[in-house]
Every structure is written in structure tokens, then in C-alpha cells.
Amino acid sequence: MGGVAVAVVPTHREGVTCLDDWDGFGQRFTASGTTVFRAVRLSPDEVVTAAEVEARPARRSSPFAQVYLTAVVAGIAAACARDAVALVRGRRRNFFHGTAPEPRHDAVLQTTVGRLSADAYAARATVLEAARSLAAAQADGSVAAMERAALDAARAKVVVDELTTRAATGLLEAGSASAVRAGAALDRHWRNARTVIAHNPASYKLRVLGDHALNGTPPPVGSFF
């Protein structure tokens, strides 16, 4: 065939070996482990050449994966908000310099939990808007529509990453020393979020978004857009 091509094959096919060697400190199921291919047989309908991709640029599949992962991160923000409520409600003692005897009535902690609630809401709303853009693009099928969906997925990722990282830190603020007990494992939210986020750095998304805004440059066709 010659040239660069992409093939999609089932993991159970002879010659495909998936190694469970991913040792990230957070989210486990990111498909980040090693996959070995040895003389794997391919059928013509499993192969897409680079020329075919360039000839039909509207066939972007990456925005779906990007929105999916951003939804995972938004879910972590929701978990932070939920756990903060349970944590503060369960505390019976407050700091001697707190604004109320019980933490749940402390104005400072109420503000912290309120911020978490707002961040979780904003993260969810952002993902839903990106999903609507993707659904509209898939129905339209045009190059322009798919490019808009890719850009919207990038915008959503940047915003949700920031909201969720802040929420994961805010959860620890809401619980103070009670939140950092090893048994509670509340640090998992920060670790999980950062692990997913690190697979696709927002800095590259921002550059592409800026280039498009200033120069009309379309987003690249590839697994990250």
C-alpha cells in the first residue's frame, strides 16, 4: 500500500497483545498501557490511509473522544461538590476562629461549598454545550460543522479542566485536616482529574483556539482534535 495508514482491529485478534503496564497515579482506564502488534492480519475495510483522511476531512472522530473525556473530568467536579457537602455536614467541631460553632453554619465553609456547587454546574453545562455542538455537526456532516465541533470540544476541555482542578482543591479546603485522612482518599479526585487532563494538555488547545480566532486557521485533523 505504501504511505501512512490507520487501522482499527479488535484486541482479541491474533498478534495483538495488550499489556497491563500503566502505572499512573490516578484514573486507571485511560488506555495508556502498551499494546504490541506482531504480524496482525488486516482486512481492507479496517484500514484508512492518510490520503483518504485528507480527501474526506469531515470524517473527524476525535471530537467525540474529546467530549467523552471532558465529561469524565466534569463528573469528577460533581463528585468533589457532593463529597464536600457530606464532609462538612458530618463535621461536628469547627475552628475556634470559625464564624459558627458547627461547620455547616460557618459562612466561610458555606462559601467554599457554594463555589464547588457552581463549578460543578458550570462544568456540566459546558460539556452539554460541546455535546450539542458535536451532535449538530454529525447531523450536518460538513467540514465547517465538524471543525466547529472540534473547536468547541477544545474550548470545553480548557474550561472544564480549570473548573475541576479548582474543585478538587476546594474539597480539601472544605474539609481541612479531616479531608486529608488516608482512609477518606479524597485526594483521588485531584489525582484522577490530573491524570485524564495530562493526556491532552490544554496549552496546545489554547494555541489552536488562538490561531483560529486570529487567523481563521482550522484545527488539525488528528486524535487530539
Residue-wise pLDDT tens digits, 119-177: 999 999 999 999 999 999 999 989 899 999 999 999 999 999 999 999 999 999 998 88
pLDDT digits (tens, 9 = 90+) for 1-24: 567 788 889 999 999 999 888 887
Do residues 190 and 168 lie in contact, with contact meaning Cβ atoms separated by under 8 Å?
A: yes
Q: Which residues of the chain does CATH 1.20.140.10 include?
A: 62-215
Given 1.20.140.10, 1.10.600.10, 3.40.50.10490, 3.30.465.10, which CATH number is that of 62-215?
1.20.140.10
pTM: 0.85
pLDDT digits (tens, 9 = 90+) for 45-103: 999 887 776 666 555 678 999 999 999 999 999 999 999 999 999 888 888 888 898 98
Do residues 160 and 77 lie in contact, with contact meaning Cβ atoms separated by under 8 Å?
A: yes
Residue 149 amino acid letter: A
96 Cβ contact list (under 8 Å, min separation 6): none
